[in-house]
Amino acid sequence: MMHARKMLKIASFVFVTLLVVGYAAFALYPYLRGPVITVTSPQNGATVTSPDIRVQGIAKGVNYLYLDDRQIFTDEAGRFSESLILYPGYNILVVRALDHFKRTTEERIEVVLQPLPLP
């Protein structure tokens, strides 16, 4: 009888410890993984005919967000949307994020501007 109680206490302690450690890992995961950027528009490698383009996406775990070294901002859900004017030909758009711990990540989008020929 005494052995069963001791085993039950040990099992309960192990269960609660695993539960606390599991929850802590789950809660800390967004902080441990660093900033995440997902650019939804334009697609990498896209060819466009208009120099005006809208760069859109989602940023998570971000304190600072930059589009071509110009600071941009997100809404409450982490979405961003910025207008940009492209140069004729090949363009590289760089979206860079910085988190609270100064960790950075960047997303490079290559876009080609081929203006329509004049009539």
CA-nearest of 32, 27, 21, 38 to 77 is 38
Distance CA 82, CA 53 (A): 8
For residue 1, is pLDDT > 70?
no
Which residue's entry shows tokens 């660093």? 34
Contact indicator for 53, 67 with CB cutoff of 8 Å: no
**Residues 101, 35: Cα–Cα separation, whole Å:** 10
> How many Cα neighbours within 13 Å face the side chain of 83?
4
pTM over 0.85: no
Q: Over the stretch 17-70, which tens digit does the pLDDT of each residue have?
A: 888 888 887 777 766 778 999 999 999 999 999 999 999 999 998 999 999 999
Give the CATH class of 35-113.
mainly beta
pLDDT digits (tens, 9 = 90+) for 102-112: 889 999 999 99
* Span 65-88, pLDDT tens digits: 999 999 999 999 999 999 999 999
